[in-house]
Amino acid sequence: MKILGISGSLRKASWNTAALRAVPALLPDGNEFSIAEIGDLPLINQDLEVDGKYPDPVQRLRSAIMAADALLFATPEYNASIPAPLKNAIDWASRPANCFAGKPVAILGVAGGLLGTARAQYPLRQTLGVLSVQMLFQPEVFIGGAGQKFDERGRLTDETTRDFLGKMLATFVTFAERVRTG
Ligand SMILES: Cc1cc2nc3c(=O)[nH]c(=O)nc-3n(C[C@H](O)[C@H](O)[C@H](O)COP(=O)(O)O)c2cc1C
């Protein structure tokens, strides 16, 4: 199964992107994982859609999403909602033909505080629901206290979190396979 990771943070030292980088070592064998680039997308603007074509970075993201069997979002919370770069990427990929239709999706989030990312994850679920994804609702993954769970090089070092994430990924792969085979 080909899984595409999409981070809601453009920061080089992002904890959310760091969590996605930890995924390949925690995924069940036989699955592929890559991370999408969303930092170079223009702001959503229908004037940039010309004769049914999209700007190159948009087309690249759309192709990556369409080629993926499943999508894994990792997002921070910005002002109690979805970070603008992530919403922008989703809006571009939602344009005809909606790249998300029927895709198995899971969401996780990492924050320095204890509650962080819940207030981004719920609106994200709502938006993706409108786009007809197949959402893995449980387990919810709120990784708080990130300062104690990642080292200075962004490696996820906390064993409890690695174990939890590994189990969640196994659940997600099983879920995505079930969705794919109907
Ligand atoms: C514009 C902006 C708004 C933010 N709003 C919130 C917020 O509402 N709640 C919160 O817990 N953190 C908030 N933060 C802090 C981020 O969650 C924090 O920087 C986090 O580390 C970002 O994730 P990252 O490490 O993946 O970049 C905000 C940060 C920015 C830049």
pLDDT tens profile 120-164:
999 999 999 999 999 999 999 999 999 999 999 999 999 999 999
Helix, strand or coil, per DSSP, at residue 139? coil
The number of the ligand 1 atom at minimal distance from the alpha carbon of 117 is 11
Does residue 158 contact residue 152 with C-beta atoms inside 8 Å?
no
103: nearest Cα among 49, 175, 11? 175
Binned at pLDDT 50, 70 and 90, residue 36 comes out as very high
Binned at pLDDT 50, 70 and 90, residue 91 comes out as very high
How many other β-carbons are positioned within 10 Å of the β-carbon of residue 164?
Answer: 16
* Single-letter residue type at 66: M
Q: Is the pLDDT of residue 116 over 90?
A: no
- Whole-model pTM: value is 0.98
Rounded Cα–Cα distance for residues 15 and 149 (Å): 10
Rounded Cα–Cα distance for residues 17 and 44 (Å): 22
Q: How far is the CA of 62 from the centre of ligand 1 (A)?
A: 26
CB 9 near ligand 1, within 6 Å: yes
Spatial CB neighbours of 21, under 8 Å, sequence gap ≥ 6: 35, 154
pLDDT of the residue at 64: 98
Q: How far is the CA of 31 from the centre of ligand 1 (A)?
A: 31
